[in-house]
Structure 1
Amino acid sequence: MQHTVTQIIDVRLVSSDMAVGEPVPLHCHLTYTAAHPLTVRTLFLSGSHEVADWNVGRQLLTCGMSAPTGSGDIRVFPGGRQEAAETMIRLNGVDLAEQRCSALVAVPTGMLRGFLSVAYQIVPAGCEQLDVAGFLDSVLAGE
């Protein structure tokens, strides 16, 4: 049985506190693993330069495709001119050019939905189990 799924999606940096003008194309490396069943690792790259590396709640991404979701550093909501064509992810506290700022990224909804469908096949909703003791050990060990 597969325990990890990864996918690279072409996305757009629509806006940030640092950028003005046309959207910037980025690559988003999505990774989901059964070892961390509640989150999806989202690594945003511009060429070979890392723009942001965040762990985003799987349910947050799922719900955000159809309705505004999230409060705090990560917000996800439907967007784009064509209905449901894009899902918008707002990240607050991104390090760009050695400054903390906000970034708004547009992700193709169909690609995100397909990725999440596979993630839910690996660990169905409601079947997530956490190794709390192992997690605390890794935090205390500074990992």
Structure 2
Amino acid sequence: MSTCLGLLWKCSDLIFTVAGTSAGVGFAIPSSTVLRIIPQLIQSGKVVRAGLNIEIAPDLIASQLNVRKGALVLQVPANSLAAKAGLHPTTRGLAGNIVLGDIIAAVNGKPVRNKAELVKVLDEYNVGDEVILKIQRGSETLEVPIKLEETSS
């Protein structure tokens, strides 16, 4: 639909094409996402997303490290809300072996199977909301309360 650009609030898909035909790469935006971000764009000119501001392992790397369910925490910035909440990053042991960090298995009881699902679940919340992360740390399962902050990704 070529009129999507001008009518963003009424359209939830778009086809990008160089030739101007209806053949190309299609993009779809859920209407619930459009309804949530349009007021932000109008008010501030940008979209503000809530997140943990940590680095999560790409699914392929997590799979190679035998993480089958959940989102593997790679890095936790010092002095971040995630660090203050006690999240553990993936590190190297004394012998150079990889020591897995926390694996986020659920957010407020909603299961998380991978990085994409974590992003999708967190997208339902606002900056400043507090959520309970269910994490796997070694053989332990823990619940960690954490406040969401503005994220760039």
Normalising by the residue count of structure 1, what TM-score does the alignment of the two structures yield?
Answer: 0.29
**Higher Cα radius of gyration:** 2
Larger strand fraction of residues: 1
